[in-house]
Amino acid sequence: MTAKNLILTLSLLAATGMAGHASAAGTCASPDDARVIQNYYANTRPGAPPPAVGRLFRMPEATVVSALHADHAYGVRSNRLFFDEVWKSVDAWGADTRIGIVFTSGGMHAWNFPSTVPQTQSTTTPIWYDMYADEGAGVHGHITPQEVDQIWALQIPTVEADKFTRILAFYDKQGALIVGLYVSENTKAFDQRAVDGFERTRELLRTQPRICGAD
Q: Inform me whether the pLDDT recorded for 55 exceeds 70.
A: yes
The 10 Å Cβ neighbour count of residue 140 is: 20
213 falls within a domain: no
The 10 Å Cβ neighbour count of residue 45 is: 15
Query: Rounded to whole angstroms, how far apart are CA atoms 187 and 44?
Result: 16
Query: Rounded to whole angstroms, how far apart are CA atoms 106 and 129?
Result: 21
Least confident span in 14-28, 34-48, 72-86, 198-212: 14-28
Domain that holds residue 57: 3-205
- Residue 187 CA, chain-centre distance (Å), reads 19
Q: Check residue 136 and give its pLDDT.
A: 86
210 falls within a domain: no
179 bridge partner residues: 170
118 falls within a domain: yes
214 falls within a domain: no
15 falls within a domain: yes
Q: Inform me whether the pLDDT recorded for 91 exceeds 80.
A: yes
Mean per-residue pLDDT, 201-210: 97
Q: Inform me whether the pLDDT recorded for 24 exceeds 80.
A: no
Band the pLDDT of 109: cuts 50, 70, 90: confident
Band the pLDDT of 122: cuts 50, 70, 90: confident
More confident site: 38 or 213: 38
212 falls within a domain: no
Q: Inform me whether the pLDDT recorded for 17 exceeds 50.
A: no
Question: What pTM value is reported for the model?
Answer: 0.86
DSSP code per residue over the chain: --HHHHHHHHHHHHHHT---S--GGGGSPPHHHHHHHHHHHHHT-TT--HHHHHHHHTS-HHHHHHTS-TTTEEEEE--HHHHHHHHHHHHTT-TT-EEEEEEEETTTEEEEEEEEPPEE-TT--SS-EEEESGGGTS-EEEE-GGG--EEEEEEEE-SSTT-EEEEEEEE-TTS-EEEEEEEE-TTS---HHHHHHHHHHHHHHTTS--SSPP-
Q: Check residue 102 and give its pLDDT.
A: 93
User: How does pLDDT run across 132-185, given as a tens digit for each residue?
Assistant: 999 888 888 888 999 999 999 999 999 999 999 999 999 999 999 999 999 999
Q: Give the CATH number, domain containing residue 25.
A: 3.40.1570.10
Q: Check residue 204 and give its pLDDT.
A: 98
Phi/psi of residue 137, each to 5°?
-85, -10
Band the pLDDT of 12: cuts 50, 70, 90: very low
Nearest to 180 by CA among 51, 35, 41: 51
The total number of structural domains in the chain stands at 1
Q: Check residue 135 and give its pLDDT.
A: 87
